[in-house]
Amino acid sequence: MNSKERVLLALRQQPQQQRPFTLTLSLYGARLTGCPLTEYYRQPYRYVEGQEAVMALCAPDILFAPFALSLEAEAFGSELIFLPNNPPNVKKPAFRSADEFIEQQAPDIDNHPSLCYFRESTRLLSGKYDGSTPICTLLTAPVDLPAIILGIDQWLETLLFAPDKAAHIMEKTTSHFAAMANALLADGASFIGVPTMFTNPRILYPHLIKEIILPALARSFSMVEGPIVFHHGGNPMASGLSEYASLPHVAGFALDHRDSLTEARAHLGPERLILGNLNGITLARVKSETIMKKVHEILEDRKEDPCFIFATANADIPFATPPELLQAIALAIRNFNTTI
């Protein structure tokens, strides 16, 4: 049985002999190949070399296309900074005001170099693994994209005090999101992972989430011609899952490490896929015994749940994480006896 078959079984709530798993090792490929990040996040073939090294290291059941959402902001005109051992970050947002954003055209998804990098990386990964390993391509949620194009403060300002302008901006980002998602699916992405922050009551007022954000997100997702994994975006979300469960085309929910998987299951019912929830960003600094204990706790917790994929939560696993630890995690998952 290959990775794709394992993942599909989880999606269809069917028994698997081996728990499917993924680790967020988009960045880590560069460590394994020694590729400078200025090349890794610009040259699709260098990125794919890194993912081949990830596959050789621990053979996850899902591979990631570049997890570098700032490149989308770059396509809109934001300035980036390349930091050692981390994905590029937004240095200077593209626009100072909502009005400037509204006047600007969205980037051409077929020609802008930053967007072509995502697409070509996805095409190459998909071609390389030829349907045996699902490819997850990550895109910024259309309700979050303005935060990296305008800056978080300007986007909050617009949402709180200029809802008409916020709606106008989200029309633009919705079109962009749907076009990119569909292009990436056509390029070979198996599904689109969407980290989402502004749906979370830790970020925004609940009434704005309900009245503005979720309807915009529902419109965006309804235009996507393939499966979506709704990602926690850095905040716990189990308690809000009932609100997100009805979003169209959402095949699964990737949970924060602070979320209770039992609570998530209770909100979603037995048939929705959940992914989670080992904290990936602390793997370099927590004792390996503690990590392995947590891995076993998660596996034990979901032992009888067929609709579950073991995954790391949060952003990329850091550069400094020992490769032996990642191999040990992969081995522990493979050796764990499920009862499903």
Count of CB atoms situated within 10 Å of the CB of 270: 10
Phi then psi dihedrals of residue 150, to 5 deg: -105, -20
The 15-54 site mask, x for binding other proteins (CB under 8 A), equals ----------------------------------------
Q: Does 83 bind other proteins (CB under 8 A)?
A: yes
Start-to-end CA span in the chain (Å): 16
For other proteins (CB under 8 A), the number of binding residues is: 24
Q: Report residue 237 CA to chain centroid gap.
A: 15
Contact with other proteins (CB under 8 A) among 8, 116, 152, 218: 152
* Residue 136 β-bridge partners: 64, 191
- Which residues 6+ apart lie within 8 Å of 224 measured at CB? 177, 178, 181, 182, 185, 192, 248, 249
Least distance from other proteins to the Cβ atom of residue 208, Å: 7
Least distance from other proteins to the Cβ atom of residue 239, Å: 12
Q: Does 153 bind other proteins (CB under 8 A)?
A: yes
The tokens for 219 are 């419109």
The tokens for 312 are 């790391």
Please give the angle made by the CA atoms of 286, 289 and 292, to the nearest 5 degrees: 95
Q: Which stretch binds other proteins (CB under 8 A): 20-28, 167-175, 203-211, 246-254?
A: 203-211
Least distance from other proteins to the Cβ atom of residue 230, Å: 19
Q: Does 85 bind other proteins (CB under 8 A)?
A: yes
CA distance 111 to 312: 33
> 201 vs 226, which CB is nearer to other proteins?
201
Contact with other proteins (CB under 8 A) among 43, 89, 104, 338: 89
The tokens for 46 are 């260098």
Q: Does 205 bind other proteins (CB under 8 A)?
A: yes
The 207-226 site mask, x for binding other proteins (CB under 8 A), equals xx------------------
Which residues contribute to the site for other proteins (CB under 8 A)?
Answer: 81, 83-86, 89-92, 151-153, 156-157, 159-161, 201-205, 207-208
